[in-house]
Chains A and B, each alone.
Chain A
Amino acid sequence: MGVRLTEQLSPRAAPLSARPKIVIRASNGWGRLQLGDLWRFRELLWFLTLRDIKARHRQSALGPLWFILKPLINMVIFSFVFGRLANLPSEGVPYPIFTYTALIPWTYFQSAATMAVGSLVQRMDIISKIYFPRLLIPASAVLSNLVDLAMSLAVLVGMMLFYDVPFRPALLTLPLFVLFAAAVGLAVGLWGATLAVKYRDVVLGVTFALQAWMFLTPVAYSATLVEGRWQWLYQANPMYWVIEGWRWAVLGAGQPPTPAMLAPLAVVLLLLVAGAYIFRRSERSIVDLL
């Protein structure tokens, strides 16, 4: 009866000095951002990102095709409605590649932002049971969508060859515009995710807002269609600079980057940092709000 039902002894616990010391107490005020956590948990971030990608396309008939399908389908629709029916001008570039070039960063931004906004609520099963820096969750949403972006880029290269678009040195600036889009997406994501924990309607609201946002951004049409006296307002949209940056780098069309883009960029960075603080602050009480 007194038999121990243990197979083998666990190794001894680590000596005290080798163990992390965790202090748990109510935090007051705004606290620190603790971005170091992101680095410390980089393996987990990587893991969450990979899993995000895998889980997203599991149980779907088309599987990995979905990586490229979203911008592709939109391109076909836009080409028909705006290119063919409405006959919108496309700055001398064939309309399909004109809009597709914009749809890649836009789709990336939109998916990243939408996923990041819903991420906290969606991953409640994990959040309510294990501790890790919650920032990893929206961050992984923004990272995992990079895969879709990369896949879509392959299609873009194909289209460039098809339409005989030359490969310009400006292409090398693309990563900067991707970063820009990621920053906007993460900023929206952080603010949205924080609010979504309290009000679930935010998730839906963001979906609609992003749809409206797309039409306020030169994705389906050329920015030159906007009247000159409204251009200052139109160009306050950070995504304007992202989209036009892509067109400029890929097609040599659109608005080349100018110092004017620094103002919206600064605003985005400000919102991003503030969003991170807000997020950090609310992450402590996320579980209690459910």
Chain B
Amino acid sequence: MSHIAVQVRGLGKRYRIGVQRRATSRGSRLANTLLAPFDYLRTSLSPPSEAETLWALRDVSFDVQDGEVLGIVGRNGAGKSTLLKILSQITEPTTGEAVIYGRVGSLLEVGTGFHQELTGRENVYMNGAILGMSKREIDSKFAEIVDFAGVERFIDTQVKRYSSGMKVRLAFAVAAHLEPELLVVDEVLAVGDAEFQRKCLGKMENFADGGRTVLFVSHNMSAVTRLCSRAIFLEQGLKVMEGTPTEVVAAYLDSARSVGAERVWDLASAPGAAELKLLSVRLVDAADQNLVVARVDQPAALQMTYLVAEPGLTFRCSARFHTQGIVAFATLEPNETTHPRPGVYQARVGLPANLLSEGEYTISLSFFTSQGRKAHWLTESDVIAFQTSDPLNGDSARGDYAEKLGGVVRPKLTWDKTYVGPTPPAGGVNGR
């Protein structure tokens, strides 16, 4: 028997975006500055024109039952955070209505609702008070919260001295332990180590088992598929899909394929040395199209372009793939190569299907030589980041197994099972 925990009907949010008047001369810039107050008055009194408005969220409706974990996926700017902000009562909707049965605990982005000047302890009590808890209730949860967040040593330190990881850990611990009926979580898994992410996911699961409800925004598709009971997909403020996490994630990944996890530099800002500059790095699929989310069951490639200014420069390229706080693997050109003439070169390293595991990878590059005058021409950490996702279609290394599967690589290995012989007599195989 379940009740509706959240009911969202036709929710929309319009933002007014400033249309900046272009200043053509110093005189008109001065005029603009002087006229600014009048301009302001004009814009605030008249209804916004079409060009000045942006619908961050349009006519979104859905229901969430008690004990459900609803995943919300979509690209940046799709309206996910706006939706969570409205449900957390941080901002008002322009249209529509949402009804929530119960208290809302929210964890919006990194940093959360902490008073920077106060200590961790004081912030825990303040957040509790905001949720309407008495001091006694918070007292009884306090030890558990601190323990979960792993910040015992810093609990009497001002929050502004916390690392972002510590802030998120404490914030999550507070939001989850103060037991609101609805927990709203935005991208908590972007920060913090793997261990803590596991704890968070466990806590959210636990939360739902207790009949509470979780709304969960994440770019981590494997977390969405694993944790959520249902998911919605937002695109440009519209709900374009609602369904099982697997369906929704697959649709999202399909739509995300053409947007790039790439970095491109212009010459002025390009990293490297005078002799060698990195121009671009991108993750591409087999057809050289940019990828943001790579499917673990399909090949991909890392493509780099760089500018060589000195003829005859000799070095090799290498890349390290980081995930879950460790180096998953490193790859490098087997030989140092000479670049005979100045100009732009491209290096490409293919990643076979069924190599990467699910999760987020960041890539560090190093172009170096072990011979000659300079060892490292270029060392760049975290040049690009991308997600990998398992389509759960049965073709990847996980086959038809849908639960959590660890590891930083996920090769598809061959398994053999053969019948060896009849059941050995009592006493066991070795007992002859």
Contact = CB atoms under 8 A, between A and B. Distances in A.
Interface of A: 1-2, 4-6, 8-14, 16, 19-27, 40-41, 43-44, 47-48, 51, 54-55, 58, 123, 125-132, 284-285, 287-288
A4 B205 contact: yes
28 contacts: A1-B404, A2-B404, A4-B205, A8-B206, A11-B210, A13-B102, A19-B181, A20-B101, A20-B102, A25-B92, A25-B93, A25-B96, A40-B132, A47-B125, A54-B122, A55-B117, A58-B117, A58-B158, A125-B114, A125-B115, A130-B88, A130-B112, A131-B88, A131-B89, A132-B130, A284-B91, A285-B92, A287-B90
A43 B134 CA distance: 7
Interface stretch (B195-203, B350-358, B423-431): B195-203
B106 interface: yes
B111 A10 contact: no
A9 B118 contact: no
Contact of B126 (A21, A25, A44, A287): A44
A8 B97 CA distance: 35
Contact of B97 (A10, A21, A25): A25
A16 B132 CA distance: 17
Name the 9 nearest CB pairs between A and B, nearest first. A5-B202, A130-B113, A131-B89, A129-B113, A10-B210, A13-B211, A25-B97, A55-B117, A44-B129
A129 B202 CA distance: 24
B241 interface: no
Given A6-B203, A13-B212, A125-B116, A130 B106 contact: yes
Contacts of A41: 129-130, 132
B95 A288 contact: no
A16 B3 contact: yes
Contact of A21 (B95, B99, B106, B211): B99
Contacts of B117: 55, 58
B207 to A, nearest CB: 6
Given A10-B210, A44-B126, A16 B118 contact: no
Given A1-B405, A126-B114, A13 B134 contact: no
Given A9-B209, A12-B211, A2 B92 contact: no
B142 to A, nearest CB: 15
Interface residues of B, number: 63
B406 interface: yes
Interface in B197-243: 198-199, 201-203, 205-207, 209-212
A40 B122 CA distance: 20
Contacts of A125: 111, 113-116
Given A130-B113, A130-B127, A9 B206 contact: yes
A200 B371 CA distance: 59
Contacts of B210: 9-13
Contacts of B130: 41, 44, 130-132
A16 B101 contact: yes
Nearest to A129: B113
A202 to B, nearest CB: 13
A131 B207 contact: no
B207 A10 contact: yes
Contacts of B92: 24-27, 284-285
Contacts of B86: 24
Nearest to A125: B116
Interface in B114-165: 114-118, 122, 125-127, 129-130, 132, 134-135, 158
Interface in B372-414: 403-406
Contacts of A20: 101-103
B93 A24 contact: yes
A51 B209 contact: no
A125 B96 CA distance: 27
A5 B403 CA distance: 13
Given A13-B181, A129-B108, A130-B127, A55 B115 contact: yes
